[in-house]
Amino acid sequence: MSRKRVAVAMSGGVDSSLAAALLKKAGYEVSGVYLKLWSGDNSEPDVSDLEHTCQILNIPLEQLNLETEFKHLVIDYFCQEYSLGRTPNPCTVCNQRIKFGLLLNRVREMGADYLATGHYARIERLPNGYRLLKAADPTKDQSYFLYTLGQRELQYLLLPLGNLHKAEVRRLATELGLSTGSRRDSQDVCFIPDNDYRAFITQYVPLQPGDIVDTEGKVLGKHDGLAQYTVGQRQGLGLTSNKRLYVLKLDTTGNRLVVGTEDQLLSNAVSASKLSWVSGKAPQEPISITAKVRYQSPEAMAKLNLNDEMARVQFHQPQRAIAPGQAVVFYQGDVVLGGGIIEDRVD
SS3 of the chain: the string is: CCCCEEEEECCCCHHHHHHHHHHHHCCCEEEEEEEECCCCCCCCCCHHHHHHHHHHHCCCEEEEECHHHHHHHHHHHHHHHHHCCCCCCHHHHHHHHHHHHHHHHHHHHCCCCEEECCCCCEEEEECCEEEEECCCCCCCCCHHHHCCCCHHHHCCEECCCCCCCHHHHHHHHHHCCCHHHHCCCCCCCCCCHHHCHHHHHHHHCCCCCEEEECCCCCEEEEECCHHHCCCCCCCCCCCCCCCCCEEEEEECCCCEEEEECHHHHEEEEEEEEEEEECCCCCCCCCEEEEEECCCCCCCEEEEEEEECCEEEEEEEEEEECCCCCCEEEEEECCEEEEEEEEEEEEC
Rounded-to-integer distance, Cα 164 and Cα 183, Å: 18
| pLDDT at residue 41 in the model | 46
Rounded-to-integer distance, Cα 292 and Cα 323, Å: 12
Regarding beta strands 310-320 and 266-277, do their DSSP bridges make them parallel or antiparallel, or are they unpaired? antiparallel
pLDDT (tens digit per residue) in 124-161 = 999 999 999 999 999 999 999 999 999 999 999 999 99
Q: What pTM, to 2 d.p., does this model score? A: 0.94
Residues annotated as catalytic are 94, 190
Residue 335 has pLDDT above 60, yes or no: yes
> Looking at domain 266-346, what is its CATH homologous superfamily?
Translation factors (2.40.30.10)
Beta bridge pairs of residue 314: 269, 303
The length of the chain in residues reads 347
| pLDDT at residue 122 in the model | 98
Which CATH code of 1.10.3720.10, 3.40.50.620, 3.40.430.10, 3.40.50.10310 fits the domain covering 5-193?
3.40.50.620
Contact 83, 201 (CB under 8 A): no
R_g (Cα) of the chain, nearest Å: 22
Contact 315, 331 (CB under 8 A): no
pLDDT (tens digit per residue) in 208-234 = 999 999 999 999 999 999 999 999 999
CATH code of 206-260, in short, is 2.30.30.280
281 conformational bin, left if phi > 0, alpha if psi -120 to 50, beta if neither: beta
| pLDDT at residue 43 in the model | 47
CA nearest neighbour of 228 among 261, 260, 203, 263 = 203
* Residue ranges covered by each domain of the chain: 5-193, 206-260, 266-346
Alpha carbon 342 to its chain centroid, in Å, reads 14
For the chain, the straight-line distance linking the first and the last C-alpha, in angstroms and rounded, comes to 60
| pLDDT at residue 73 in the model | 96
pLDDT (tens digit per residue) in 277-303 = 999 999 999 999 999 999 999 999 999
Mean pLDDT across the chain: 93
pLDDT (tens digit per residue) in 2-31 = 789 999 999 888 999 999 999 999 999 999
> CA-CA distances (angstroms) from residue 249 to 217, 265, 302?
12, 9, 23
